[in-house]
Structure 1
Amino acid sequence: MNQPIGVFDSGYGGLTILREIVRKLPQYDYIYLGDNARTPYGTRSFETVYQYTLECVQHLFDRGCRLVVLACNTASAKALRNIQQLDLPVRYPGLDGPGLDGPTRRVLGVIRPTTEVIGNYSATRQVGILATRGTVTSESYLVEIEKFFPDLAVVQEACPMWVPLVENGEYASPGADYFVKQHIDRLVAKAPGLDTILLACTHYPLLLDKIRQYAPTGTTILSQGGIVADSLAHYLSRHPELEAQCSQHGRRTFLTTDSTEDFDRQATVFFGEPICSENLAL
């Protein structure tokens, strides 16, 4: 039976996560779903993001996925908790109790894996978060980092123009410099001693060269792809009963809720190799 690992994002950015997951765990089958017709999620309400994310997760379950990764910071911040606590136990009940299996479907996000390790990179104990307005407003990173590294001073900066720059292919253009410098300067002004910056949006790695250019010399810039890939590998090793249900043929399937032609052209940039997608009408 084909039971791939599902990877979801509101658009293209999650492909930077999938790229690293495939590099780390190439043996598994994967389905990537980009909800491009309804992107961006970053400016939408909690309820809307939750409903959109749940619809897409449900579709991936219908395709045979037992495990879905929300490779989207906004969806992880605004929808993951509700899906894990309210939907999975009702829709996919399993054996629940000490030492038992829990729901028969699992959904993971990208925030917790990052917050579990971010403090390991900072000597000054001051870190900055660059994210969409939705992720910043949710304060999910502040809450989660406090659990693991209560000694860290964390500042955030919302960068509303960065995703449009990336999705319109302007991430390498001179026009992007203004917006990148503007937000880096604002972030550093909030914590002049910061030595670590987390790119808490999966689109932002495409701006990495410019971010490095304007960040203070010696600053560690963290992208989430490798961190999430390592976390997924550890999760599967800790849950052999779930890992055994994930099919292993090295297959990749790509779905988009919008134009496949547009998706294939853009997605190739994010994923790093040619992509041929299928349209999904939700």
Structure 2
Amino acid sequence: MFAQVPGPIGIFDSGYGGLTIFDKIRKRMPAYDYIYLGDNARTPYGPRSFDVVYQFTRQAVERLFEEGCQLIILACNTASAKALRTIQQQDLPRWDADRRVLGVIRPTVEVLGELSRTRHIGILGTTGTISSQSYTLEIEKLFPDMTVTSEACPMWVPLVENNEYDSPGADYFIRKHLDHILAADPQIDTLVLGCTHYPLLWDKIKQFIPQHIHVLAQGEYVAASLENYLMRHPEMEARLTKGSQSRFMTTESEEKFAEAASLFLQDPVEVSQITIEG
């Protein structure tokens, strides 16, 4: 169905947040080629149903495969929670059994065993990620002794997407959810930022929590996990091109994406607008 030639690593997100994952991956593995696709025209994915998130994610993955990607990271917690398993089990065997689509939830959960002493974990995420219980189920599989408390933060992504994340008005919404989750379980010592937008709220979050609480942003852990994956799968590593080139695609305005991307990456980017169809 797709051309069998070496190609780049694809990174997909519903919007800009996945750039926090892309940034860490590219810094850790700068030799590879990358294509980043943001479905900004249809963001946010968080409140959408499982079926819609799956449909949108499948369309994006198929487009990245058409662009030559051999391996795709769903740098979106909602897509990882609601679409990854179905794509892996149903779509990949039909498209190309040798290509891979990986998510961000498992690599994040794997590091919790080293970080938490109280074994009480807090998950902050979109409504979609929290309602899917993907983090809770994954933690139960790997660390059945852990207690998990989750908190949906529906206003946090809009704050980031609208460049209001550092404004005084953001304080109310950030503090509200932090107070709520810590009141629900005062023994929490590790908070997982279960959305790729949330690292931009890092400074605000740290203001409103006790100093002993570890805040886990996903980028470095996902990057380390991907590097390890390629070491363990040399057959996939051989299918990836290495020209240190990065391309960016968006389903919305090129100008708007470039402006937002410069906030996430601290670098100007060139981006092309595309249309995704099922």
Q: TM-score, normalised by structure 2?
A: 0.97
CA distance change for structure 1 residues 2 and 238 in 2, over 3 Å: closer, same or farther? closer
Structure 1: how far apart are the matches of 2:6 and 2:100? 17
Q: CA deviation at 1:189?
A: 0.8
Aligned twin of 2:58? 54
Residue 77 of structure 1 pairs with residue 71 of structure 2: no
CA positional deviation for 1:217:
2.1
Q: Deviations over 1:129-163 (max 9, x none)?
A: 00000000000000001111111111000000000
Give, in whole Å, the separation in 1 of the partners of 2:12 and 2:108.
Answer: 17
2:98 pairs, out of 67, 85, 104, with 104
- In 1, Cα distance between the equivalents of 2:254 and 2:195? 23
**Structure-1 residue corresponding to 2:72:** 68
What is the alpha-carbon distance in structure 1 between the residues aligned to residue 223 and residue 211 of structure 2? 28
2:209 match: 215
Which residue of the partner structure matches residue 235 of structure 1? Answer: 229
8 Å contact from structure 2 (residues 130, 152) kept in 1: yes
The alpha carbon displacement at 1:215 in A equals 1.2
Question: Post-superposition shift, 1:50?
Answer: 0.2
Deviations 1:155-188 (A, max 9, x none): 0000000000011000000000000000000010
- Structure 2 residue matching 1:193: 3-state secondary structure: coil
> Which of these residues, 237, 249, 252, is aligned with residue 246 of structure 2?
252
Q: Is the 8 A contact 2:126 2:152 kept in 1?
A: yes
1:131 alignment partner in structure 2: 125
Per the normalisation by structure 1, the TM-score is 0.95
Q: Is 1:41 matched up with 2:45?
A: yes
Unaligned segments of structure 1, at least 5 residues: 93-102
8 Å Cα contact 2:6-2:239 kept in structure 1 = no
| Match of residue 120 from structure 1 | 114
Rounded to whole Å, the distance in 1 between the matches of 2:257 and 2:160 is: 13
Match of 1:6 among 4, 7, 10: 10
The 8 Å contact of residues 119 and 152 in structure 1, kept in 2 or not, is answered as: no
Alignment match, 1:169: 163
Q: Structure 2: how far apart are the matches of 1:205 and 1:110?
A: 14
Q: How many residues align?
A: 272
Query: How many Å separate the matches in 2 of 1:216 and 1:196?
Result: 11
SS at match of 2:169: helix
- Between 1:251-260 and 1:209-218, the stretch displaced more is 209-218
